């Protein structure tokens, strides 16, 4: 049975991993490296180009689509041992993050959900092999949202197959959108979905992350050609095409061309007759083995286009 809803050529899943909604120490680093004083001004005067959520919502509203936002509850440097503070890897992984309990993040999560965007879990760096940590992170996000999240993606695409999926399923997640690459793109994970346990737990392989594409700021035509080929391949194979665009890439001053590229991707998919929406909405339309029929969630909200 095809995972693509009836009367659609293929499915395009729109997802956003919320890693760094604030531009923090990066401004100082890049201002010094690139001799760009404008980035230092942003840092000193509180302007935050990485908080792109209002513009992103307006963009998707204009396109008539919805997407999934995956929120993370990563540890901070202060949670680590003193010895780890001097490890450059610790700074890369844990410095400049946010707490999902921050007032602005809580308000954002609830506002997005109220307007039919999907909220999901972006499991922290080590949670893919730590069931207890993953469960704590999920329960915290559930409590903010007011209902259980359906699925999400692991940070840095960390995955231990099938152990990570067993952890996710055990803590109540219904799907995972992790398997893929940050350096390459394509349908290496297959054209459809995966059911690793032959039950209600589903895997949506990642087709393309924006950072794996040619830089649209300098090579827009090459970047679009790559996406256009993926769309044609998806249509020819009734595929589920899973796309990741980090919210900070909608900051035009830092990542020129990516907003335009995303808009063209969605517009072209709709022109081609694709179902476009978040993974959780597609999950609600899937056919299920009879043994898992009681676990199927009710259809609610915006199902996509």
Rounded to whole angstroms, the Cα distance separating 154 from 45 reads: 33
Selected residue with higher pLDDT from 188 and 35: 188
Task: Give the per-residue pLDDT at 93.
Answer: 52
Selected residue with higher pLDDT from 95 and 18: 18
What is the CB-side half-sphere exposure of residue 76 using CA atoms within 13 A? 7
Quote the tokens at residue 153: 């993606």
**pLDDT exceeds cutoff 80 at 301:** no
What SS3 state is found at 294?
A: helix
**pLDDT exceeds cutoff 50 at 292:** no
The pTM (predicted TM-score) of the whole model is 0.86
DSSP state of 194: B
Q: How many CB atoms lie within 10 A of CB 196?
A: 14
Domain ranges of the chain: 11-295
Q: How many CB atoms lie within 10 A of CB 197?
A: 14
CA distances, 47 to each of 13, 20, 25, 50, 220 (Å)? 31, 15, 13, 9, 27
Banded pLDDT at 305 (limits 50, 70, 90): confident
CA distances, 301 to each of 118, 146, 248, 284, 298 (Å)? 9, 15, 26, 10, 10
Q: By mean pLDDT, which of 12-21, 143-152, 291-300 is the weakest? A: 291-300
Banded pLDDT at 258 (limits 50, 70, 90): very high
| 11-295, CATH topology level | TIM Barrel (3.20.20)
Selected residue with higher pLDDT from 249 and 39: 249
Selected residue with higher pLDDT from 259 and 40: 259
Query: Would you say 9 and 273 are in contact if contact means Cβ atoms under 8 Å apart?
Result: yes
Strand runs (DSSP E) across the chain, as ranges?
11-18, 68-71, 118-123, 151-154, 175-176, 202-203, 208-209, 240-244, 275-277
Task: Give the per-residue pLDDT at 79.
Answer: 59
Q: How many CB atoms lie within 10 A of CB 64?
A: 11
Q: Could you tell me where the DSSP H helices lie in 127-191?
A: 131-145, 163-170
Q: How many CB atoms lie within 10 A of CB 21?
A: 21
User: Nearest 10 degrees: CA dihedral of 237, 239, 242, 243?
Assistant: 40
């Amino acid at each position: 049975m095809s995972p693509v809803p009836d009367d659609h050529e293929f499915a395009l899943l729109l997802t956003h991993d919320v890693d760094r909604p604030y531009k923090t120490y990066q401004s100082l680093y890049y201002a010094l490296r690139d001799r760009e004083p404008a980035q230092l001004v942003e840092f000193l005067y509180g302007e935050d180009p990485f908080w792109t959520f209002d513009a992103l919502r307006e963009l998707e509203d204009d396109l008539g689509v919805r997407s999934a936002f995956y929120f993370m509850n990563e540890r901070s440097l202060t949670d680590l041992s003193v010895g780890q503070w001097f490890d450059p890897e610790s700074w890369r992984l844990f410095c400049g993050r946010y707490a999902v309990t921050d007032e602005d993040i809580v308000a954002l999560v609830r506002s997005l959900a109220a307007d039919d965007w999907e909220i999901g879990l972006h499991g922290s760096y080590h949670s893919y092999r730590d069931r207890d940590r993953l469960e704590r992170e999920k329960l915290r996000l559930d409590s903010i949202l007011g209902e259980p999240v359906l699925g999400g993606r692991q940070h840095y695409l960390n995955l231990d197959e099938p152990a990570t999926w067993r952890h996710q399923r055990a803590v109540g997640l219904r799907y995972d959108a992790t398997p893929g690459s940050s350096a390459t793109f394509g349908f290496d994970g297959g054209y459809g979905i995966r059911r690793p346990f032959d039950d209600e737990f589903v895997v949506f392989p990642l087709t393309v992350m924006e950072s794996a594409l040619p830089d649209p700021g300098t090579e827009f035509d090459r970047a679009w050609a790559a996406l256009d080929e993926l769309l044609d391949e998806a249509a020819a194979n009734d595929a589920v095409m899973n796309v990741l665009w980090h919210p900070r890439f909608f900051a035009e001053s830092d990542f020129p061309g990516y907003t335009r590229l995303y808009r063209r991707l969605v517009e072209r998919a709709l022109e081609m007759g694709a179902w476009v929406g978040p993974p959780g909405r597609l999950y609600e339309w899937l056919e299920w083995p009879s043994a898992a029929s009681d676990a199927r969630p009710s259809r609610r909200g915006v199902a996509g286009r």
